[in-house]
Structure 1
Amino acid sequence: MSASSRDSLAGAGWQSQEPGTYRELMPPRVAKLSWLNPSTLWKARNGPLAALLGDPTGTDRQRWVRRQLDAGAADADLVIERDDPDEYSFVLIADTGEGDDSQYAVVPGLLKAGAGTRFAVLSSDVLYPVGSANEYGTKFFQPYRDYDAPIYAIPGNHDWYDGLTGFMRVFCRAPALPPAARPRPVVTAAWWRNLLWKKSDVPDDALLDEARKLRSAPAQAASQPGPYWALDSGPLRIIGIDTGLLGGIDKAQGEWLRRVCLGPRPKILVTGSPIYVDNEHHPCAIEGGGTVDDIVRDPKHNFVAAIGGDIHNYQHYPVDVDGRRIEYVVSGGGGAFMHATHTIPRVTVGGVTEEQFRCYPLRSDSLAFYSGLYGRRLRLRRLFGLTPDEAGAVLAQRLDMKPTRATGAAVTLRTRFVASALGAPPRPHSRARMRLPVRKVLTQVISPGGATYSPPFFKSFLRLDVSPAGVRVRCFAATGMRGQELDPPVEDEFTIALPPAGNL
């Protein structure tokens, strides 16, 4: 097995190695998506507008679902029935489609580690920046053309920036919705929202039909009933929910979720908004009352895991819920820019200890990556640039833990300054407040602007091997290096025990 980032600098992709072959999979010309470009931010304006002027996502989502039901394209429970054996495997990727180097760098390892899997689940943000149907060719069909199994998806907030038109056309073969009734010309929040709202792109069906040829093999055929669904496969029910623009679900979806969660079958939740992330608990509100996590924790629903995208890294929180273990996972490293992990404090949330917690990239690699980014942007490389060893040493001191990788680097005034300035958590009982507002700014502004086009990329995906006795979960890394394309390193591994069939 290939060395991981937990073993060595080479395993993390820092040391000089042969570059991967992923560029051979890419189209000849690739547009580089810049999140610092005002035109990109303007295209993605619907999220801030929804937060400010009211979110129409729930209403629009139910219009999509009602039309699928009326057309006979779905049943009331939105169930996908699969004829899988009791022992099988599937892969999970999320936050994929920028269409550039970091997305394509995931593909060789995905094909290698995902060999023999029965299907894939793509959870959250299939396409960036706005989920347009006209960009699916190079950002979905071409990257995964050699994955010889169906792909099912749930949308993320960026897929909703297009009103879900592209997502529904590709995954559900659904035509665009007719325009909703316009509010009366009175200056209200809804009126302003409608005035400023980005309208859906008109799908080019000829372009989309040509793109579909890239994944047209019978083994790749997939059909799903809507933006949220339940998938019955072997001993499991996998439930995918659509958390829309702002990370909550509407009342009708909440009622559906409570209904499809009944029964003794073990369940895994797949969501666009993680429930535990960055040492915080986000239970996901349901319109009308209650939360998604209330449903996950209810023992009569038999959830064993909840896996969310949206944050572009990997995090694992094994939470004890009244004597039962529920595995809460963030898995959003499928191809887009990398969100920092070095800003995550020493973990205490949900009763999970730092020793139980796992993340990828390691905090030290995240700090080294962003120190290099700040050094380049500010033209202060000698001041800001930290080696991975220097980053590991200073973070070990600040978080009061041993470095994951052994390091002989000294902690100096400069490394302490850089760590503090770049948002690393302060030492316990420290009064230091000299920090850039990195934790939120890094997530919302600096991280999207920090996309890189050469390794290491710190991308990841999951392979889940299912049997009646349990589910083996492995997080594989994709660095962009050739050796790790051929033998993808495992950054985390755990097994979820399933109850014996006689106890269901």
Structure 2
Amino acid sequence: MAHSSRDTAEGAGWGDHRPGEYKRLMPSRVEKLSWLDPRTLWPARNGVLASWFGDPTGRTRARWVEQRAAAGAPADAVIRRTDADHFSFMVIGDTGEGDDPQYAVVPGFLKVSQGTDFAVLASDVIYPVGGTDDYGGKFFRPYRDYAAPIYAIPGNHDWYEDLHGFMRVFCAAPPLAPEAAPRRPTRAWLRSLLWHRPGAADEQRLAEARELRSAPSQQAVQPGPYWAIDAGPVRIIGIDTGLLGTVDAEQGRWLREVSQGDRPKILITGSPLYVDGEHHPCAIEGGGTVDDIVRDPGHHYVAAIGGDIHNYQRYPVQVDGGRTIQYVVAGGGGAFMHATHTIPRVRVAQVAEEDFRCYPLRGDSLAFYSRLYGRRLRMRRFFTLTEAEATAVIAQRLGIPPTRAQGTPVRVTPRTRLVAALLGAGGRPDRTSRLRLPVRKAYTQLFSPGSATYSPPFFKCFLRLDVTPSSVHLRCHSATGTLDHEIDPPVEDEVTIPLS
């Protein structure tokens, strides 16, 4: 088994590695997405408009569900897959930028996924706005050789065109008829004037893209943007958290219904419930939260896996009755990397730092961002930290031992401490706190996508889950873009979850 980032720096992808062969999978021309480009920002305005003038996605989602029900989709939105006691499936989140980092995940994904029954894409299938015409290079082509069906839950980016592309590809749904705009000046009227709406899809282009995943074994039509899958001993439930990370009342009612019963359950959501050392229970319109449903001992949830944040995190949370639910973030499937070095020492829901896992490791994240900022600000000599320097300063600031053993001890210099503080490394506030550069919020929303790296290491990841009558074995594999990790994808984390 290949060394992981928890073992060696080489296992993280640092050092002199031969690049992988993922480029042979890519189209000859790839558009590099930039969130600094007004042509990208303006079509992606719907999230901002929804937060300012009210979120219409609940009503739009209801219209999609009504359309699918009229077309014969099961009323309970449950897919019956297999009665086998043993089966396996993949989870990969936030995939579709269509560039080097997304395609670098594919060789390892295909190798690890051999023998699996299906895959789930967890949030943000297509960047920047979920357009139908983008599915060829960002969904059908990269996963053309995955032999089993792929299901998906939408993320906020898939909603930037009112879910038209997502529903067309995954649900075989025709476009929704436009709704009449409000007639008098209201917040909804103003929103409707500014709202970005989908254009007509290129039907020939979509038909050609579908041919890339046209084998009978690859076909599946899901009942809507939220669904449940009964497979062997477990029920997998996927929910749609829309533009703003919430659940509408009708979906909430459905979620409570499909969560009943003794069958163990795994939630897949576009908005993780624990992330960055914080609890985000996910509000349901009309009252209650998604996490209330997950924690209810009568519902028998064993895990909740969320996308949206572009890295891997795991929180084993003890709940009533002495049970442990594994809360996982799994959004590292191809989009630009969200920092982990900004996560403070973990103390949440009785989960301590020693129980917490993340990928990339905080030191690798800091080293990655130091290079990125050094390049962007043209201050490489000042900002760039080696992985050993970054690991050492993270350990000092958080008061924890280094995650992986270091060779020669590294001295933490004033420059190292200053760079770590400027880049928002977790730890106690210091005199530089007010000078922090925008790493976590503004940077990851704007500058990170525009400054994405196109050479290894990439620090991407995906999950494989193997289910038996007694347990679910979850493994997080990394994808760095190096050849040795394509051949033998390292295991960055694994846990066995009992089903009893």
> TM-score normalised by the shorter chain: which range applies?
over 0.9
5 Å-filtered alignment, 1:260-275, equals: 260-275=258-273
Match of 2:188 among 179, 187, 190: 190
How far the C-alpha of 1:431 sits from its partner, in A, is 8.8
5 Å-filtered alignment, 1:169-318, equals: 169-184=168-183, 186-318=184-316
How far the C-alpha of 1:430 sits from its partner, in A, is 8.0
Aligned equivalent of 1:341:
340
* Count of residue pairs the alignment pairs up: 497
Aligned equivalent of 1:477:
478
Query: Is contact 1:315-1:360 (8 Å) kept?
Result: yes
Q: Does structure 1 residue 493 correspond to structure 2 residue 494?
A: yes
CA distance in 2 between partners of 1:403 and 1:92 (Å): 29
Classify the secondary structure of the residue corresponding to 1:355.
helix
The farther-off stretch of 405-414 and 158-167 is: 405-414
Aligned equivalent of 1:51:
51
Query: Is contact 1:340-1:442 (8 Å) kept?
Result: no
TM-score by length of 2: 0.98
Classify the secondary structure of the residue corresponding to 2:352.
coil
5 Å-filtered alignment, 1:64-463, equals: 64-72=64-72, 74-184=73-183, 186-322=184-320, 323-407=322-406, 408-427=409-428, 433-463=434-464
Query: Is contact 1:398-1:428 (8 Å) kept?
Result: no
CA distance in 2 between partners of 1:432 and 1:55 (Å): 34
CA distance in 2 between partners of 1:477 and 1:139 (Å): 20
The farther-off stretch of 76-85 and 257-266 is: 76-85
How far the C-alpha of 1:392 sits from its partner, in A, is 0.5
- One-letter amino acid matched to 1:422: L
Q: Does structure 1 residue 22 correspond to structure 2 residue 47?
A: no
Question: Are residues 178 and 30 of structure 1, via their aligned partners in 2, closer, same or farther at CA, if it must alter by over 3 Å?
Answer: same
Query: Is contact 2:345-2:427 (8 Å) kept?
Result: no
How far the C-alpha of 1:208 sits from its partner, in A, is 0.8
How far the C-alpha of 1:437 sits from its partner, in A, is 4.2
Classify the secondary structure of the residue corresponding to 2:441.
helix
Alpha-carbon displacement from aligned partner over 1:338-370 (angstroms, at most 9, x marks no partner):
000000000001111100100000000100011
CA distance in 1 between partners of 2:485 and 2:438 (Å): 35
How far the C-alpha of 1:207 sits from its partner, in A, is 1.1
CA distance in 1 between partners of 2:304 and 2:209 (Å): 32
How far the C-alpha of 1:432 sits from its partner, in A, is 5.1
- One-letter amino acid matched to 1:161: Y
CA distance in 2 between partners of 1:451 and 1:35 (Å): 10
CA distance in 1 between partners of 2:40 and 2:109 (Å): 29
CA distance in 1 between partners of 2:253 and 2:371 (Å): 47
Classify the secondary structure of the residue corresponding to 2:355.
coil
How far the C-alpha of 1:206 sits from its partner, in A, is 1.6
Aligned equivalent of 2:38:
38
TM-score by length of 1: 0.97
- One-letter amino acid matched to 2:471: G
Give ranges in structure 2 of 5+ residues lacking alignment: none
Query: Is contact 2:341-2:365 (8 Å) kept?
Result: yes
Root-mean-square deviation over aligned CA pairs: 1.2
How far the C-alpha of 1:448 sits from its partner, in A, is 2.3
How far the C-alpha of 1:17 sits from its partner, in A, is 1.0
Classify the secondary structure of the residue corresponding to 2:210.
helix
